């Protein structure tokens, strides 16, 4: 099973976003965190920046909406160029309807869960999604340390995906680095958001390749992948 590395521009230089996007050529997606200072205590960027960024790079955009009322705003980000849109289960008023609308507009539909939100209550709607994001830090700020207590949740999520025979990507975001990515992969993740580990490196593109190699080897040896 192929793994994917999605560098997070939250850790990039916001004054040089076009150049920073080019610095990670070879990445699978460019992860873009949208924060509104309401759902999370931070404010980042909005639709106009996403629109400009989509014109500046050939890497597809993986939008992570850490905002209130994603039911209203998600469609605008698809129109701005997003290829994948992640909304938070804790913020969406009608997650199934929203996921279907995202898909209908031509993007991949993804749902994110904060660390304290259990996966089990969302088991029935997993078939409506293309990806599920398990936050491995509290959302809102980059550079936080990885929460090891999320590893069992990643495993339970992978078990539910396998139980239903779904082709559902399982993404992790928060503290992913060379020292944590293998544990995430072994637990069941196959899509990895990395911010500081990529943009803090001397050669961001090389960091992407190294992380992909590490994750790929861990997935290949993981029992969940061998049984897939």
Q: State the catalytic residues.
A: 33, 173
The owner of tokens 């998600």 is 74
Q: Is 155 exposed, middle or buried (0-12, 13-18, 19+ CB in 10 A)?
A: middle
Sign of the four-CA dihedral 82, 84, 86, 92 = positive
User: In the beta sheet, which residues pair with residue 207?
Assistant: none
Q: Is 162 exposed, middle or buried (0-12, 13-18, 19+ CB in 10 A)?
A: middle
Got the DSSP string for 71-117? HHHHHHHHHTTEEEEEEETTT-SSHHHHHHHHHHTTSEEEEEE-TTS
């Amino acid at each position: 099973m192929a793994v994917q590395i999605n560098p997070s521009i939250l850790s990039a230089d916001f004054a040089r976003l076009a150049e920073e996007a080019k610095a990670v050529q070879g990445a699978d997606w460019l992860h873009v965190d949208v924060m509104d200072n309401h759902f999370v205590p931070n404010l980042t960027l909005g639709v106009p920046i996403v629109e400009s960024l989509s014109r500046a790079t050939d890497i597809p955009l993986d939008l992570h909406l850490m905002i209130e009322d994603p039911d209203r705003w998600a469609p605008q980000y698809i129109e701005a160029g997003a290829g994948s849109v992640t909304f938070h289960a804790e913020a969406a008023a009608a997650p199934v309807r929203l996921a279907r609308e995202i898909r209908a507009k031509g993007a991949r539909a993804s749902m994110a869960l904060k660390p304290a939100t259990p996966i089990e209550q969302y088991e029935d709607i997993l078939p409506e999604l293309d990806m599920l994001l398990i936050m491995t830090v509290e959302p809102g700020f980059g550079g936080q340390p990885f929460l090891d207590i999320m590893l069992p949740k990643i495993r339970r999520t992978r078990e539910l995906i396998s139980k239903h025979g779904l082709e559902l990507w399982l993404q992790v975001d928060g503290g992913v680095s060379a020292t944590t990515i293998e544990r995430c992969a072994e637990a069941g993740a196959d899509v990895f958001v990395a911010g500081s580990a990529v943009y803090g490196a001397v050669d961001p593109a090389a960091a992407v390749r190294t992380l992909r190699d590490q994750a790929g080897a861990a997935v290949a040896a993981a029992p969940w992948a061998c049984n897939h």
